[in-house]
Amino acid sequence: MKSGGHIIEPNLHFRRHDSLLYIEEIGERAVVFTLNNLRNFARTYLEIHGDEFFYIEYERGYRLGLLRFNDTFSHIKDPIDRLKRILEFSEGTGAWHVVEWDFDPKAKKGYAIIKNSYWAEVLKPFDRPVCHNIAGYLAAIIGRAYGVELEAEETECEAKGDKRCYFVIHVI
């Protein structure tokens, strides 16, 4: 499914209460992080944990995807509509731009093309793909929508100079 440049209303609605910021649509507290803050965070954890950091990030993304699918957007009953809304929401937060995605439930495989990945921007330049958290997130939300256990692997990444982040998604 191709994105027409934007797949969500242009503005998320926030409200403040006692110095706290909430995203009205999902009723969750929000905290604004700049990419410089995230860059410092990521580089610190990468120094401490080495490559284990990327496994942790995949798991973090997977768990966040489950949370979004099972809780945050559970009011949307059709699983494919819920999946689309979750992707729209993620794009609307500024995390990335979904250029295109597809999943064939018969073949149990698919792909996603992402541009402007915040995580690639945080860690670039890097010698290999770095968007493990997005891979985990995609595996969780697409897998839940189609009722299968999936994993995703990033094969192209903006952090290493590719023009896009490309994820291969398949059954475990």
Give 92-101 pLDDT, tens digit per residue.
888 999 999 9
Is position 48 within any domain?
yes
Token pair for residue 144?
Answer: 């839940």
Q: In sequence order, which residues have a C-beta less than 8 Å from that of residue 147 and are 6 or more positions away? A: 79
Q: Mean of the per-residue pLDDT values for the chain?
A: 90
Rounded CA Rg of the chain: 16
Q: Which residue has the higher pLDDT, 114 or 21?
A: 114
- pLDDT of res. 27: 77
- pLDDT of res. 6: 41
Q: Exposed/middle/buried for 161, CB within 10 Å: 0-12, 13-18, 19+?
A: exposed
Is position 8 within any domain?
no
Is position 6 within any domain?
no
Is position 34 within any domain?
yes
Residues 2-31: what's their mean pLDDT? Answer: 67
Name the β-bridge partners of 129. none
Q: Where in the sequence is the domain holding 124, given as residue range(s)? A: 14-171
CATH number for the domain harbouring residue 47: 3.30.1380.20
For residue 54, count other CB atoms closer than 10 A to its CB. Answer: 19
Is position 1 within any domain?
no
Is position 2 within any domain?
no
Is position 47 within any domain?
yes
Structural domain count, the chain: 1
HSE toward the beta carbon, residue 50, CA cutoff 13 A: 0
